[in-house]
Structure formats: C-alpha cells, structure tokens
C-alpha cells in the first residue's frame, strides 16, 4: 500500500483563492516589497514566483533588484524607505545575502509589523510564547498541509530533523503548540535513524538530497520533506528518498509540489494579515 501523496499545489491554490476573495472586498490592496541583492539564480526564481503570487491574489507589489556590490548603508536606506511607505504592508529581503552584508542587521532593521517572513527577534519571541501575528512561511505551510489532510500532531511523536532558525526551530514550536511530543534532531544526534523511526510525524529540513530512506521511517508515519535539492542527474528532489519512503509511510509530501508552493501561499497570508492589522 503506497502512501497518500500530500498535494501542496492543491492546498496552495485553495489558500490563494481564500486570500483573493478577501482582497477583492478591500478598498486598499495589501502591498508587498521584495528586495533581492545579487544574481543568485535560485533566489531570482523565488522572487519571480512571489511577484506572480501577488498578482494572482490582487496585491500591490514591488521588486527591488540590487546589484551584488550594494553596500549595507544603501540596503538599510531602502529598508527604511519601505518601512515608512504606507503602500507597503510587508517587506521581504531574499536570503542568502552576499557575504559582505550582515543578514542579522538587515532582518533587525525591518519593522516587526512589516516582517512577513517572521524572522525579526520580536516575532520570533512571539512565536515562542504562542502569541504571534506572523509565522515563518515554511513551517506555517507545513502546519496548514497537516490540517488540510486531517493529520493532528496532538499526542503524536513528532520528530524534526534540522534546527535552523528559518524552519527547524519554529517548526518544533508549532508542533509543540498543537500538543505534539517534539524531538529536534541534528548533525550531532547519535542515532538519527532510531529517533526518526519513533516519529508519527517526521519533518525533514537538512539540505541533503535523498538522505532519509525507508529505513528511517516508522510504517504509516506522515513524512514532510522540506528539502529542495538536486539529485545526481540535476533533477529537483528533496531530503527524503521519495520512491522508497512512499512504500512505508502513511502520507508524504513530494518534491516539487509539496511544501514549496505552501511557502509562498503563507507569505501572502502574512501580508494580508499585516494589511488588516495596519487598517485597524
């Protein structure tokens, strides 16, 4: 029996439809500004998709493409201008930034009420205590997928592989807030396979192509693959070996078409929320 394939494209389309419906009834359209520095090809694709998503739901959007040579001073001046611009409800600075720019300082400069990536320390702290306006887009997308497929973390063993500030840590907090029993694994975990095999819900975000195979999976588990890698043939794949794992898991997200589309859908959700808060 093969696993249920969790369709991120379908759920993302549903979320976008809900947003477009709300925006249609708004006098002032939500505004998103995306800032990209340098020529990273993957980042350019993400930025293009974000602009496309905005157009689809009826947002006002701006894309600021800055050269690799941009100074920190110039970038900060742009963020200050966007912070003060009333048309802009959300500001997103595409990461990674070129090495000479201080990522932390840039994130800290974005106003917390316009930080639709939810990376600012104020928003990170709010997530920790469970009283937040915005959630980081990828973990929020994972939670929405689980919800749509009727998979509740409550009382389940939830294992998160990866401890980044962008995915791993916030993902663990969100599963905990839904009453999951959460274990966070990483490169120093002694027996990763044993930890993963205990998981009823396994979320993998480590950036290693097809690293998790069927041996890591408890039969019937839900497997969420956050990875975005290239295999030996240069084909897009995740951190999970989809073909072997789908024979053991109860439900699994594919790559592409799983978590990826949800990330942009949740960014649009956060921007709408920022606009609603600004209008109060």
Residues classed as catalytic: 50, 94, 117
Peptide bond into 40 cis (omega under 30): no
Return the H-helix or E-strand segment holding 19.
helix 8-24
Residue 222 neighbours by CB under 8 Å, 6+ apart: 6, 146, 151, 200, 201, 202, 249, 250, 251, 252
Q: In this structure, are residues 5 and 254 in contact, taking their beta carbons and an 8 Å threshold?
A: yes
Return the H-helix or E-strand segment holding 225.
strand 222-225
* DSSP per residue, 20-84: HHHHHT-SSPPEEEEEEES--HHHHHHHHHHHHHHHHHT-EEEEEEE-TT--HHHHHHHHHHHHH
Q: In this structure, are residues 59 and 245 in contact, taking their beta carbons and an 8 Å threshold?
A: no
Peptide bond into 54 cis (omega under 30): no
The tokens 């394939």 sit on which residue?
5
- The DSSP letter of residue 3 is P
In 178-241, alpha helices (H): 192-197
Residue 215 CA to residue 222 CA, distance in Å, equals 14
Residue 248 CA to residue 217 CA, distance in Å, equals 7
- Measured in whole angstroms, how far is the alpha carbon of residue 122 from the centre of its chain? 18
């Amino acid at each position: 029996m093969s696993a249920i394939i969790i369709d991120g494209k379908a759920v993302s389309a549903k979320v976008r439809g809900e947003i477009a419906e709300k925006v249609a009834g708004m006098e002032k359209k939500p505004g998103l500004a995306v800032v990209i520095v340098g020529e990273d090809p993957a980042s350019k694709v993400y930025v293009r998709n974000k602009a496309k998503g905005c157009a689809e739901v009826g947002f006002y959007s701006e894309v600021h493409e800055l050269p690799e040579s941009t100074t920190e001073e110039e970038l900060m001046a742009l963020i200050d201008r966007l912070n003060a611009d009333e048309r802009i409800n959300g500001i997103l600075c595409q990461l990674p930034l070129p090495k000479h720019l201080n990522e932390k300082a840039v994130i800290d400069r974005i106003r917390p009420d316009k930080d639709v990536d939810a990376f600012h320390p104020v928003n990170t702290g709010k997530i920790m205590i469970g009283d937040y306006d915005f959630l980081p887009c990828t973990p929020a997308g994972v939670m929405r997928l689980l919800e749509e497929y009727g998979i509740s973390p409550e009382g389940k063993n939830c294992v998160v592989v990866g401890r980044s500030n962008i995915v791993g840590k916030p993902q663990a907090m969100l599963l905990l807030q839904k009453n999951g029993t959460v274990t966070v694994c990483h490169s120093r975990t002694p027996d990763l396979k044993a930890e993963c095999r205990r998981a009823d819900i396994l979320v993998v975000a480590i950036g290693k192509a097809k690293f998790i195979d069927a041996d890591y999976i408890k039969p019937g588990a839900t497997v969420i693959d956050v990875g975005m890698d290239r295999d030996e043939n240069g084909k897009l794949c995740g951190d999970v070996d989809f073909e072997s794992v789908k024979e053991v898991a109860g439900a699994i997200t594919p790559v592409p078409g799983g978590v990826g589309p949800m990330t942009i859908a949740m960014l649009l959700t956060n921007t709408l929320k920022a606009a609603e808060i600004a209008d109060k």
